[in-house]
Amino acid sequence: MAVMWSRLTCIGLLSRGQRNLSIFSNPSPSYWNKVVSDAEKIVGYPTSFMSLRCLLSDELSNVAMHVRKLVGTKHPLLNTARGFVYESRNNLQMRGLVVLLMSKAAGPSPAASEQLLPDMVSGIYPSQRNLAEITELIHTAFLVHRGIVNLKEWTNSDGPLKDMQFGNKMAVLSGDFLLANACTGLAQLNNTKVVELISSAIGDLVQGIYHENSNSTEESNLTVASWEDQTFLSHGALLAKSCQAAMELAKHDKEAQTLAFQYGKHLALGHKVNSDLQPFVKRGTDPVPFSLDSAPVVFHRQIVGPERWLQQLQQVKTITRQMDHTKLWEAIKSEKGVSQAVDLCCYHGNKALEAIKRFPPSEARSALENIACAVTKF
C-alpha cells in the first residue's frame, strides 16, 4: 500500500495546477457520468485487480520515480501520467466496463454446465473480468506509445533534447510493460481463439495510430469512408473485438459474437464522432481548438471539394505559417459538415442500440442501451 501511495503522490506532484487536462474530452459530462456510474453498480466490482498488480509492481514504481524527472519538460508522457490519476474514472475504465456489461447481458452460455455457474460473480465469469482488464491494459499501453516523440523533429527552442530522450525511454518501457502484462494475461485465459482475436485488435490499433497524424497535411484526400475505416482501426477495433471475445469466453454462438462485435464497433465510432464534434457544438462563441482529422472537418472537406478546401486553408495561414483556427472554425460552422457529422454520430449510436436490443432484456442490457444513447447526446 505504501508503494502505491508514494507513487500516487509523486504523480500527483506532477499534476499540480493542471487538473482539467483530459486525454479526450467528454460529451455533456453530467449525463455521461450518471450513465457510467449507474452501470458500474451493475457489474459488481469493476476490475479484477490486474491493473492494481501492474501499478504495484517494481517496474512501474521505477517509472514513476523517473517520470518525476520529467516535470517541467514538454514530454507527452507527463500528460498521459496525469490522465491516469485524474481521468481514470470516466475514461480509462470505460472499455472494461462495456466488456463487463456485455458479458453480463449475454449471461451464461446455454451449453454451459451447471458447475461453472458458481464461479460467476454478479453474473460475470472470472475470465471475462480478466479480459476486461486486459482491454484496459492494451488501451493504456497505446496511450503511452502514442506519446513517443520523434527526436529529429524536436528543436532546441522546445527544450533540452536529453529530456525528450529520457521521456521516450520511459514511455517505451512502460508501454511495453503494460503490453507484456496483457500478453501473459491473455495466455492465462486458456483460449487461443481469444488470444488471436485480441492480438489482431492490437495489430489494428497499431495500423490506426500509425496513420493518425499523417492525414493532417492538406494534400491528403481523406474521404468520409476511408476516415471511418481508419477510425475503426484506431478507436473501434479493440472494443469490438473485446466484446466479441467476451462472448467466446462464455461459449456463446457466432450470432451473439457478431452482435457483441457490432455493439462495440458502433459505440466506439459514435463516441469518437461525438468527441470530434465537441469543439463545434459547445455553447458560446469562442472557438475551441480542433483537429483537422476530426469528423466535422472531413465532412466539410468532402462538401466543399479539394480546391476550395485548399483555398480556405491558404486564407487562414497567417504570416507565421501558423493556422488561424478561428477563421477555419467559422468557415466549417457555416457549412453542413457539422450537421452531417451529427447524423453520422446518431447513425452509429442507433446501430449500437439495434445490436444490443437483440439480447434478452436485463439490467445490464439497459445500461448498455443508456450508454449508446448517451453517445448521441450533445
Question: For residues 290-349, which are near other proteins according to CB under 8 A?
Answer: none
Which one among 21, 151, 225, 288 touches other proteins, defined by CB under 8 A? 151
Query: Cα(227)–Cα(344) distance, rounded to whole angstroms?
Result: 12
- Cα separation, 247 vs 332, whole angstroms: 42
Q: How far is the C-alpha of 287 from the C-alpha of 373, rounded, in Å? A: 27
133 or 369: whose CB is closer to other proteins?
Answer: 133
**Cα(354)–Cα(345) distance, rounded to whole angstroms?**
14
Q: Which of residues 172-201 bind other proteins (CB under 8 A)?
A: 172-173, 175-177, 179-181, 183-184, 186-188, 190-193, 195-196, 199-200
Burial class (CB in 10 A: 0-12, 13-18, 19+), 281: middle
Are 370 and 38 in contact by the 8 Å Cβ rule? The answer is yes
Is residue 221 near other proteins by the rule CB under 8 A? no
223 forms part of the interface with other proteins (CB under 8 A): no
Distance CA 92, CA 341 (A): 25
Give whichever of 114 and 153 is closer to other proteins, judged by the CB atom. Answer: 153
x/- letters, 55..94, toward other proteins (CB under 8 A): ---xx--x---x----------------------------
168 sits near other proteins (criterion: CB under 8 A): yes
Cell 474530452 found at? 25
Of 173 and 310, CB closest to other proteins: 173
Say whether residue 150 binds other proteins (CB under 8 A): yes
Q: Which is nearer to other proteins, 121 or 187 (CB)?
A: 187
Closest CA to 80 of 89, 90, 67: 67
Whichever of 210 and 378 has its CB closer to other proteins, that residue is 210
Using the rule CB under 8 A, is 225 a contact of other proteins? no
- Tell whether residue 149 is a contact of other proteins (CB under 8 A): yes
Q: Are 122 and 43 in contact (CB under 8 A)?
A: yes
Rounded to 5 degrees, φ, ψ at 47 are: -130, 175
Shortest separation between residue 256's beta carbon and other proteins, angstroms: 21
Q: Is-contact 263 15, C-beta < 8 A?
A: no
Count residues near other proteins (CB under 8 A).
43
Q: Can residue 216 be called a binding residue for other proteins (CB under 8 A)?
A: no
Q: How far is the CB of 238 from other proteins (least distance, A)?
A: 11
Which residue, 219 or 286, has its beta carbon nearer to other proteins? 219
For other proteins, the closer CB: 40 or 59: 59
Contacts of 28 (CB under 8 A, 6+ apart): 377, 378
* Burial track 153-168 (b if 16+ CB lie within 10 A, e otherwise): ebeeeeeeeebbebbb
CA 237 to chain CA centroid, Å, is 10
Spell out the residues 6+ positions from residue 269 whose beta carbon is closer than 8 angstroms to its own: 228, 231, 232, 235, 236, 348
Of these, 209, 224, 281, 310, which contacts other proteins (CB under 8 A)? 209
Residues that bind other proteins (CB under 8 A): 58-59, 62, 66, 142, 145, 148-153, 165, 168-169, 172-173, 175-177, 179-181, 183-184, 186-188, 190-193, 195-196, 199-200, 202-203, 206-207, 209-211
